[in-house]
A and B are shown apart, each in its own frame.
Chain A
Amino acid sequence: MRKVAIIGVGITPFLSRYLDKTYFELAYDATKLALNDCNKQGIEITHKDLESTVYGIYNELFERQFMPDIFINSYIGMNDKPGTRIASGGATGGYTVRMAYAEVASGLSDLCLCLGVEKCNDCYDEKTGATTPQVLNAIAYSADMTYEYPMGMMAASSYVSMVNAHFEEFGSPSEEQMALVSVKNHGNAINNPIAQSPMKITVEDVMNSRIICYPFKMLDCCLYSEASACLILASEQKVKELGVENPIWITGVGAANTDCFIGNRESIGRLYSNINAAKAAYKMAGLDYDNIKNQIDVAELHDAFSGQEVISYEELGFVPFGEGGKWIESGGPEIGGELPCCPSGGLIGCGHAVGATGIMSTGEAALQLRGDADKHQVTIEKGRALAHSIGGPGAAYAAIIIMENEEAKK
């Protein structure tokens, strides 16, 4: 396979609602931001140079449009070029990066647009006069529609099952340990201008917020967001041709789908998709699952729910099983800690614009490696970063991307 680099990143602000943009207008904005990011670095390209697009769009019901990708394709001026849509639940972003990587690594394209967008809050519940109940309904249709949806399965009740079972098995994470993730990520978001929920809060604030799905409380959950995020990927040959000075190489892409029926799994308290995706990505990047914490500088994790970030520390190999709760108590994943996790604010701080989210996380990690993360920049010593996406029924889909900056390593 050919080497593939991220040469441009574009992320629109994550907002609860864009009344002044449709999903395809948002996608245009992110594309333009990514092209501007290239131009600022002296990379002279326009949209006409892009050879293909991989679209990450999770949910047709949000966009009120089946096959939304083809309408974006028209709006962003990519007619007469190949475009492929990826839809893998909450892991749509990570999977989209994976497929855009494959587009370039395979030799099909030398310059590929990796574009995610989601606009959920056009859903509207006439009965309660609020968007959320209809947004949750549109998501709940991702559960098995015969055996699980009618029983009231939804995103929170699905994730909470794994977190509760993990707690039963390991005594971690406690409610207070989960709350620390919320405090950290809302706090980190204060320094990220694109974030939807920057907040200085305490563990007590989280504990006192309204119960959503026992034991998840309001501040343990990310908010649904509207946004678009975009990467421009280039082959090694194109990197040379364009004189890219600071390419961020994608060195590992790992993905795995575990059984979407949680009750079929060997242990309910494990996200096997995480474990298998991590091992595959590390192997490809030549990294070690048991020593990964010391091999990367930063991780952008998929913290749709606080407890899920804690168990991800364990499943991604940062700490042994059962020690995730203790690790956040010790400050390990804080900025300045052993391995900063979600310095952007993650999903809890930035919001969750599903198809855009994993591309935002990958873009954020790439900006960290470039030294371009401004106020939330972490120290880069090893020159490696990780971005994590997970989602779908029972968190069945997971994708992990490892990136490297060869300059930073020198």
Chain B
Amino acid sequence: MVFQEHQIRDKILIEYKYTMGGQSKFFIELMNNKKILGTKCRKCKKVWLPPRINCSECYEDTDWIELPHTGTIQVSTIVWYGAAAFIQNVPYGCAFIKLDKADTAMFQGVFSENLVPSKLKKGQRVKAVFKKKENREGKMTDFFFVPEDEWERWINKPEYEGGD
């Protein structure tokens, strides 16, 4: 018997309105005040970013602390082919960035006027750039990082601004 193929078109779509629970303050301060908040363990003093309201090592509560908008690239890559949701953005840079005063590194986008691996090397100093208030939604996509020497030019673009 000759095999005859049959395929069915379909998609799975689920809508969400999900709570950020104890981490909500991070997103509210990001959206309203361009602040980047980490949390500091009351016992071991470790500074978590992304923030955790509990220290996973000490089983103690943490306190919110405001972090500087500057940090250092720990490792990076430039993505040239990707998932459907991001394929229109390639090439894009991303990196694990340790903000000054934080003990952990956060994954974030790194934009550059000259997107080459040498511009995103380990040790590169970077600074946060924010979307304008009307475009901020309380999500990680409200901000990104740029090499420190490009920061002035990025925040002067009409769609972006610097923090305080």
Flag if A164 contacts B75 (CB, 8 Å). Answer: yes
Given A147-B106, A261-B104, A268-B96, answer yes or no on A213-B75 (Cβ-Cβ < 8 Å): no
| B107 lies within 8 A of chain A by Cβ | yes
> Please, how many residues of chain A have a CB less than 8 angstroms from a CB on the other chain?
42
Q: Which residues of A contact B77 (CB under 8 A)?
A: 157, 160-161, 164, 213-214
The 6 nearest A-B residue pairs measured at CB: A263-B105, A133-B84, A136-B83, A137-B83, A165-B75, A19-B5
User: What is A's interface to B at a CB cutoff of 8 Å?
Assistant: 19-20, 61, 64, 124-125, 127-128, 133-134, 136-137, 139-140, 144, 146-148, 150-154, 156-157, 160-161, 164-165, 168, 210-215, 261-264, 268-269
Cross-interface CB contact of A268 among B48, B75, B92, B141, cutoff 8 Å: B75
- CA A168 – CA B80 in complex, angstroms? 21
Flag if B81 contacts A212 (CB, 8 Å). Answer: yes
Flag if A146 contacts B80 (CB, 8 Å). Answer: no
User: What is B's interface to A at a CB cutoff of 8 Å?
Assistant: 3, 5, 7, 9-10, 12, 20, 48, 50, 74-87, 89, 92, 94, 96, 98, 104-109, 117, 122, 139-141
- CA A152 – CA B141 in complex, angstroms? 10
Q: Which residues of B contact A210 (CB under 8 A)?
A: 80-81
> Shortest Cβ distance from A178 into chain B, in angstroms?
14
Q: Which residues of B contact A151 (CB under 8 A)?
A: 94, 107-109, 140-141
Flag if B104 contacts A263 (CB, 8 Å). Answer: yes
> Shortest Cβ distance from A187 into chain B, in angstroms?
25
Flag if A152 contacts B92 (CB, 8 Å). Answer: yes
Flag if B105 contacts A152 (CB, 8 Å). Answer: no
Q: Which residues of A contact B83 (CB under 8 A)?
A: 133, 136-137, 139-140, 152, 154
Q: Which residues of B contact A133 (CB under 8 A)?
A: 82-84, 87
- CA A263 – CA B92 in complex, angstroms? 19
- CA A261 – CA B10 in complex, angstroms? 33
Cross-interface CB contact of A64 among B10, B104, B122, cutoff 8 Å: B10
**Given contact pairs A153-B94, A157-B94, a sample of 11 additional A-B residue pairs in the complex whose CB atoms are under 8 Å apart:** A153-B107, A160-B77, A164-B76, A168-B75, A212-B79, A213-B81, A213-B82, A214-B77, A263-B96, A263-B105, A263-B106
- CA A20 – CA B7 in complex, angstroms? 10
- CA A215 – CA B74 in complex, angstroms? 16
Q: Which residues of B contact A153 (CB under 8 A)?
A: 94, 107
Flag if B20 contacts A213 (CB, 8 Å). Answer: no
- CA A161 – CA B48 in complex, angstroms? 20
- CA A293 – CA B75 in complex, angstroms? 31
- CA A173 – CA B30 in complex, angstroms? 39
Flag if B117 contacts A214 (CB, 8 Å). Answer: yes
- CA A146 – CA B52 in complex, angstroms? 13
Flag if A125 contacts B84 (CB, 8 Å). Answer: yes
- CA A172 – CA B12 in complex, angstroms? 42
Q: Which residues of B contact A160 (CB under 8 A)?
A: 77
- CA A146 – CA B5 in complex, angstroms? 39
Flag if B79 contacts A157 (CB, 8 Å). Answer: yes
Cross-interface CB contact of B84 among A134, A156, A211, cutoff 8 Å: A134
Given A137-B84, A153-B107, A263-B105, answer yes or no on A61-B74 (Cβ-Cβ < 8 Å): no
Cross-interface CB contact of B75 among A64, A137, A140, A161, cutoff 8 Å: A161
Given A147-B140, A151-B109, answer yes or no on A214-B104 (Cβ-Cβ < 8 Å): no
Given A128-B87, A154-B82, A268-B75, answer yes or no on A147-B5 (Cβ-Cβ < 8 Å): no
Q: Which residues of B contact A20 (CB under 8 A)?
A: 3, 5
Flag if A152 contacts B75 (CB, 8 Å). Answer: no
**A153, A165, A213, most chain B CB atoms within 10 A:** A213
Flag if A213 contacts B3 (CB, 8 Å). Answer: no
